[in-house]
Structure 1
């Protein structure tokens, strides 16, 4: 029996089925109207994605140029910094595709839908982990300078970088598997999680929410706060000449990290709570609007973080000035002094070794 015969038999057998009127519910199915949210995203996101992409390309390209010309991969910090730049470029490479998608529809096919979705997730996840790893490495170099000097080798840096990439890929498997293209009558071709039952998709969605909030926000935030508090205390008890400047820079790093990442992750947590315990039939677009806005701050931080962390250190500022002086000699740029204080063996946490 072929499929056509099977379908016809099934169809005719349905005519003999007796339906109990008591089991029939004449209730409308409530579908949440998202057209306003989609229009809001179409107006806001493409421009912001293009700007983020260009900033990331320019800033990370500059950091790569400085590492190549002046630094190489001779230190642990530079290895971590290079990986951070790569992760941000991987993430930024997905933004032009999403910009086109939000302005019209998905026109790039099923394979690129999976690849772009996975690049976005891998880059986004690895970026926050590398920022946390760099903070922890600064903590070891300043607070445990003597013992860390023996363990902070290139092999240590490459091993930890590999662990971060593996964790990021594992956390992104759901995006690789679930992302696919489907045709929507009203919106055209969509690239989103699809192809499974609603209950399966909701469970994966909840896993993604809690994974993002716990693994990629709460744990990194706790590590960053602990490390920079210990670094600040250590600096205050040493004779570093520029200790006030170092403490101010630490405050700027923590404040920027908190401001850019907290709103987005609070919205993620609220969405997880609503999905887990809320009424699925109750329509509310407030969280969707909040997600669009707060997510862009997190994206911006991802794209500019290597530049932000790099140019806090005087050595990289010096390299940048040398680069400008070489290509724009008419500016008559004065190179900063990189002499460290002789009164202490500690190095400022904002100085790249």
Structure 2
């Protein structure tokens, strides 16, 4: 009896990979898709990592220098930045993985992927929480002034972290390292059908439909309230609200829609366009959840003034430093 070679083993692996949730086989060769990810994803992840660290760092700097850290809005913003940094720190591991194979071992396979989902989920929930808090502050300002205290923010933040941790535990349990004859060591989710379906609908309902409903309702009520007042610059406020909702929908919706299309389609043939679309939309979502504090704060006039102040201060220090250095060189 002949021992199967690597090619035959890979063909068997490709066949098993190309099965839908009903166990029906379809031809879906993953080679092109893997080559696509190997070519584009590592550099993309490194770029997102750099942008995220800089953007979130600027937000932290401005909040620290110009804002009170104990206000409800800033406590939520700091937690949002923390969730994005947790997610961002997983990107270099993913970049190395997509450029070659998983070289970091079983423990980091579980930790990196669970941290990725943990950052994802907490970021979505903190954006939702900040939206609801803004709704209370504008639409129910009398009640909000009595209830919006530091303990309120800390309690809700703790609830968000706890929910996100529970939601990401299945990733820690089910991700593991296995050796593939073609691609080497792979860090993959090896959960069964029921867990995959449960995870898909959990993400779709709790971290897409629910936040989107909160966004639309809260910002609709905020817009009506702002337009009914004589607030100076109210059109700018409404425009800012529209941009925030649009950003969330534009970056996060396509990935969730593609996932649901893949789950519910009846065709037994692999649609490579959907596979490529899933890769692209998932990374658009990654980009958003790395830099959403920048969108959330840079669009505000007060934050823009703070950033301008930081840049002017840095420019003044740099000019003084160059003048002193130049004078020293002249005297020497």
* TM-score range for the pair, normalised by the shorter chain length: 0.7 to 0.9
Map residues 264-303 of structure 1 onto 2, 5 A cutoff: 264-274=255-265, 278=266, 282-303=269-290
1:213 corresponds to which residue? 204
Q: Distance in 2 between matches of 1:202 and 1:48?
A: 31
What residue number does 1:121 align with? 117
Name the SS for the 1:236 alignment partner.
helix
Counterpart residue number, 1:323: 310
2:17 is matched with none
Answer whether contact 1:181 1:191 (CA < 8 A) is retained. Answer: yes
Deviations 1:207-252 (A, max 9, x none): 1111111110011001000000000000000011101111111111
Aligned positions of 1:202-351 closer than 5 A: 202-274=193-265, 278=266, 282-329=269-316
Question: 1:178, 1:304 → 2: CA distance?
Answer: 28
User: Are residue 92 (structure 1) and residue 92 (structure 2) matched?
Assistant: no
Is the alpha carbon distance of 1:111 and 1:263 closer, same or farther for their aligned partners in structure 2, counting shifts above 3 Å? same
- State which of 49, 54, 66 in structure 1 corresponds to 2:50: 54
Instruction: Measure the CA separation in 2 of the matches of 1:162 and 1:239.
Output: 37
Higher helix share: 2
Give the aligned CA root-mean-square deviation in angstroms.
1.8
Instruction: Call closer, same or farther: CA 1:331–1:242 in 2, change over 3 Å.
Output: farther
C-alpha distance in 1, partners of 2:233/2:174? Answer: 51
Distance 2:164 2:263 in 1: 21
Does the aligned pair in 2 maintain the 1:210–1:272 contact within 8 Å?
no
TM-score normalised over the length of structure 1:
0.80
- Structure 1 runs, 4 residues or longer, greater than 4 Å off: none
- In structure 1, distance between residues paired with 2:184 and 2:33: 16
Question: Taking structure 2 as the reference length, what is the TM-score of the superposition?
Answer: 0.85
What SS is found at the alignment partner of 1:192?
A: strand
Which sections of structure 2, spanning at least 5 residues, go unmatched?
Answer: 1-24, 320-332
Residue in 2 that maps onto 1:136: 132
Structure 1 match to 2:20: none
Give the SS at the match of 1:172: helix
Look up the match of 2:79.
Answer: 83
- CA separation in 1, counterparts of 2:159 and 2:64? 24
Give distance in 1, aligned partners of 2:248 and 2:53.
21
Alignment gaps of 5+ in structure 1: 1-28, 195-199, 333-353
Question: Could you tell me whether the CA contact under 8 Å between 2:27 and 2:269 is conserved in 1?
Answer: no
How far is 1:43 from its partner?
Answer: 1.5
What is the number of residues matched between the two proteins?
A: 296
Work out which of the two has the higher radius of gyration on C-alpha atoms and give 1 or 2.
Answer: 1
Once structures 1 and 2 are overlaid, which stretch shifts more, 64-73 or 86-95? 64-73
Asked if the contact 1:60/1:85 (under 8 Å) is kept, the reply is yes
Provide the rounded CA distance (Å) in 1 between the counterparts of 2:210 and 2:318.
45
8 Å CA contact 2:87–2:115 kept in 1: the answer is: yes
How far does residue 74 in structure 1 lie from its aligned partner after superposition? 2.0
